[in-house]
Amino acid sequence: MPIGDSIPPVGIRWDDALFVVLAATLLGSALMVVTLRDIIRCGLALTVSFASLAGIYALLGDPLVAATQILVYIGAISVLILFAIMMTQTKNAPARLVFQTQAWVAAVASVALAVVIAVAALATTWPAGGQRLSTATADVAHLLFSEYVLPFEVVGVLLTAAVVGAVYLARREPGRRDEDRP
Amino acid sequence: MSNSLDSYLVLSGFLFAIGTFGFLARRNAISMLMSIELMLNAVNLSILAFGAFVAPLKTHASVIALVVIAVAAAEATVGLAIVIAIYRNRRTPLVDEYDSMRE
């Protein structure tokens, strides 16, 4: 059964409604990431914001990047962050003060940044069409392996170096015990 | 609304500003890394929005976004490893207690 272009009783277009819901979820969960007291909940809210961003990528007509966002960010980076949180949580760490003492300066600065970016984006006339163009995955693959093949290889080397470096940095030094671990 | 480039750019700007606030204001090193991820995601969103609305950039934007995602993954790996290595030595994840180079 085909569904119409807009939601029947209210007449709002489906993609507008989806955009509003996804954007509200994204901004709300991002605010939870930076304000919540419990850092585990910050990590889970970060996962929610990655997921809603994947929805926005799909809405922008880019299914390959949306799938990559789910695979890499939700599947890998969120899990990595949650592992790191659980490895660095101590019971005696002061949980009462999550912000720096000068957090209000940061708040003023970031509100100013948001206003400047919004005004600049709205005041500029972009050479853009009024319609979203969807990207074919086959075109992306062709471009990635022809014109962008050097960046692709460099990213492969970078990922290998990063993983080897991370293992080297995080490994336990031999003969040295972590003190005051119960 | 979903058919105008401006709304996506404003959304990405707000997300970037939220990430900036988190990076500047939080005390926990892992919270700061999470804020960096938010900022990288905001940049990716604006790249893909330009790609979706400007015809000559269409496929290039997807490729660049994929490269940015891969570099962000590398950054998160190394960053979290550094945080864990510092935590082994100092027993705290709070960045304002990493002040041994001050005096």
Q: Residue B82, Cβ neighbours under 10 Å: how many?
A: 16
Do A67 and A144 lie in a common domain?
no
Cβ-based contacts under 8 A for chains A and B: 262
* ipTM value for the complex: 0.92
Do A86 and A149 lie in a common domain?
no
Query: What residue spans define the domains of chain B?
Result: 5-97
Residue A13, domain CATH = 1.20.120.1200
* Residue that terminates a domain, selected from A24, A57, A91: A91
Answer whether residue A26 shows pLDDT above 90. yes
Do A76 and A23 lie in a common domain?
yes
Q: Are A172 and B88 in contact (CB < 8 Å)?
A: yes
Chain position carrying tokens 């961003």: A53
pLDDT above 70: percentage of residues in chain B: 97
Cβ–Cβ contact B91 with A under 8 A: yes
Measured in angstroms, the CA of A41 and the nearest CA of chain B are apart by 11
Interface of B with A in 6-65 (CB under 8 A): 6-11, 13-22, 24-31, 33-35, 37-38, 41, 44-45, 48-55, 58-63, 65
> Nearest residue on chain A to B26, judged by CA atoms?
A99
- Gap between the Cα atoms of A139 and B50, Å rounded: 17
Residues B9-43 pLDDT 10s:
999 999 999 999 999 999 889 999 999 999 999 99
pLDDT of residue A94: 55
DSSP A18-60: HHHHHHHHHHHHHHHHHH-SSHHHHHHHHHHHHHHHHHHHHHT
Q: Are A62 and B22 in contact (CB < 8 Å)?
A: no
Question: Region A116-123: what's the mean pLDDT?
Answer: 94
Q: Is residue A97 part of a domain?
A: no
pLDDT of residue A176: 62
pTM of the model: 0.90
Chain position carrying tokens 């900022």: B39
Do A144 and A60 lie in a common domain?
no
Number of separate domains in chain A: 2
Q: Is residue A19 part of a domain?
A: yes
Do A12 and A86 lie in a common domain?
yes
Answer whether residue A92 shows pLDDT above 80. no
Q: Is residue A117 part of a domain?
A: no
Q: Token pair for residue A74?
A: 């939700």
pLDDT above 90: percentage of residues in chain A: 62
Cβ–Cβ contact B90 with A under 8 A: no
Q: Is residue A113 part of a domain?
A: no
**CATH code of the domain made up of B5-97:** 1.10.287.3510
Three-state DSSP class for residue A99? strand
Residues B62-89 pLDDT 10s:
999 999 999 999 999 999 999 988 888 8
